[in-house]
Amino acid sequence: MASRRLLLEHLLRCSRRLSFHLPSSSSVLPHPCVSTFSSAFSSVDLSSAHRSDSAAAGAVSDAFLRPPSSKGQLAEASAASVAAKKFLEEGLRNDWTRDEIQSVYDSPLLDLLFHSAEVHRHAHKFREVQQCTLLSIKTGGCSEDCAYCPQSSRYNTGVKSQKLLSEDVVLDAARKAKEAGSTRFCMGAAWRDTLGRKSNFNQILDYVKQIRGMGMEVCCTLGMLEKQQAEKLKEAGLTAYNHNLDTSREYYPKIITTRSYDERLKTLEFVRDSGISVCSGGIIGLGEEVSDRVGLLHTLATLPEHPESVPINALLAVKGTPLQDQKVSLFLSLQLLA
Ligand code: SF4
């Protein structure tokens, strides 16, 4: 009993530490379209952030992979330790198979945490986090049917539809965010896309320019984009665009029927091609299987470039949505994050 308590305490300490071990240029950004209580991030351009002392890091890794010398130690290196060692030696890769990701995911949790922290420390200033502020600039009344979202007009959740916030309100919020220490400001709008919203879109371009002028990074999440719109956002100075895949390709139609996974990926392609950083992740607790979480990770890890940020959101079930009775475990988010 005592050892179990100690283990739990250790896990909790690990999770607290992890929340501070975020990449120096990542953002603390919850899914903008849904109420969530947890977010976490993966790599930010790991290739350019390598430390020069990879030999030292390799030695640490070798030590961990040393064959067991006594009874009771791990009989074999876990998939997490093998993957971490490979990363330290060869860098990022985009050719992951789903089975490989499943094996890493299935590694013993503490082993997974240890090696994910090892990779993270190798690539980033692990004591630094970036503080970001998110503002919903257009709330509610969305035509989409995302089963987790209180902003969908299809569900009776009590969220009222609002118009796009005015320039005064948005810029004032950005100024206050900067004063409070944020270096990135994110604007979220509850829309399927911005087609047919020319004046709103132009207004947002202006917000992006003005907030960049304050010396902050700017992120937007406005639904699906066309190529030209991504290019205009880039011209305006947008730093990053958030567009979550939410879950695996297979489970996606059970959560959203009003758009496809491929449409989602197309927007990510336009964002990436325009030179804007991609922020894309998912939500756990949607009723998905482990294979769906692995599927989400596999899609993200095999994109032509890894997203700059990967928000891992945990569902906050809202009354009135189809997922109102869903429960979610903190351990699942920890495992997915690692
Ligand atoms: S697209 Fe609309 S319904 Fe779906 S998460 Fe965003 S705001 Fe909610």
Closest atom of ligand 1 to 256 CA is 4
Mean pLDDT of 198-204: 97
* Nearest alpha carbon, ligand 1 atom 6: 33
CA 222 vs. chain centroid, Å, equals 16
Mean pLDDT of 23-27: 32
Q: State what percent of residues in the chain have pLDDT above 70.
A: 78
The neighbour count for residue 320, using CB atoms within 10 Å, is: 13
pLDDT in tens, 39-60: 323 333 323 333 333 443 443 3
pLDDT band at 333 (very low <50, low <70, confident <90, very high): confident
Pocket of ligand 1 (CB under 6 A): 33-34, 142, 144, 146, 149, 151-152, 190, 223
What is the 149 CA–ligand 1 centroid distance (Å)? 6
Say whether both 36 and 163 belong to one domain.
yes
Q: With 0-12 CB in 10 A as exposed, 13-18 as middle and 19+ as buried, what is 277?
A: buried
pLDDT in tens, 222-273: 999 999 999 999 999 999 999 999 999 999 999 999 999 999 999 999 999 9
> Is 98 in a helix, a strand, or coil?
helix
**30 or 65: whose pLDDT is higher?**
65
| Alpha-carbon distance values, 110 to 57, 68, 69, 290 (Å) | 19, 17, 20, 18
Q: With 0-12 CB in 10 A as exposed, 13-18 as middle and 19+ as buried, what is 53?
A: exposed
Task: Write down the pLDDT at residue 96.
Answer: 95
What is the 10 CA–ligand 1 centroid distance (Å)? 37
CB 110 within 8 A of CB 9: no
Q: Tell whether 19 is covered by a domain.
A: no
Q: Tell whether 17 is covered by a domain.
A: no
CB 203 within 8 A of CB 164: yes
* Nearest alpha carbon, ligand 1 atom 4: 146
Closest atom of ligand 1 to 190 CA is 7
How far is residue 210's CA from residue 338's CA, in Å, rounded to a whole number?
37
How far is residue 330's CA from residue 297's CA, in Å, rounded to a whole number?
18
Task: Write down the pLDDT at residue 75.
Answer: 55
Exposure on the CB side of residue 217, measured as CA atoms within 13 A:
20
**305 or 2: whose pLDDT is higher?**
305
Task: Write down the pLDDT at residue 329.
Answer: 77
Task: Write down the pLDDT at residue 332.
Answer: 72
Of the ranges 100-109, 134-143, 167-176, 260-269, which one carries the lowest mean pLDDT score? 100-109
Say whether both 175 and 32 belong to one domain.
yes
Say whether both 162 and 224 belong to one domain.
yes
What is the 191 CA–ligand 1 centroid distance (Å)? 7
Task: Write down the pLDDT at residue 246.
Answer: 97
Say whether both 186 and 289 belong to one domain.
yes
Which structural domain, as residue segments, surrounds residue 98? Answer: 49-68+76-123
pLDDT band at 287 (very low <50, low <70, confident <90, very high): very high
**Number of domains the chain contains:** 2
Pairing, β 282-284 against β 217-221? unpaired
Residue 291 above 80 pLDDT? yes
How far is residue 277's CA from residue 289's CA, in Å, rounded to a whole number?
29
Quick one: CA torsion of 145, 147, 149, 154, rounded to 10 degrees? 40
Task: Write down the pLDDT at residue 236.
Answer: 98
Task: Write down the pLDDT at residue 54.
Answer: 41
Q: Which of 265, 235, 238 is nearest to 249 (CA)?
A: 265
How far is residue 151's CA from residue 35's CA, in Å, rounded to a whole number?
9
Say whether both 243 and 99 belong to one domain.
no
What is the 257 CA–ligand 1 centroid distance (Å)? 12
Q: Tell whether 3 is covered by a domain.
A: no
pLDDT band at 37 (very low <50, low <70, confident <90, very high): very low
Say whether both 98 and 145 belong to one domain.
no
Task: Write down the pLDDT at residue 334.
Answer: 77
Q: What angle do CA 28, 208, 300 make, to 5 degrees?
A: 45
CB 168 within 8 A of CB 306: no
Say whether both 147 and 293 belong to one domain.
yes
Task: Write down the pLDDT at residue 277.
Answer: 97
Say whether both 35 and 57 belong to one domain.
no
**122 or 328: whose pLDDT is higher?**
122
CATH number reported for the structural domain that contains residue 288 in this entry: 3.20.20.70
Say whether both 240 and 135 belong to one domain.
yes
Which residues in 19-67 belong to E strands, given as ranges? Answer: none
Q: Tell whether 37 is covered by a domain.
A: yes
Closest atom of ligand 1 to 192 CA is 1
Mean pLDDT of 85-110: 93
pLDDT band at 178 (very low <50, low <70, confident <90, very high): very high
What is the 182 CA–ligand 1 centroid distance (Å)? 25
Say whether both 119 and 247 belong to one domain.
no
Q: What angle do CA 17, 9, 61 make, to 5 degrees?
A: 55
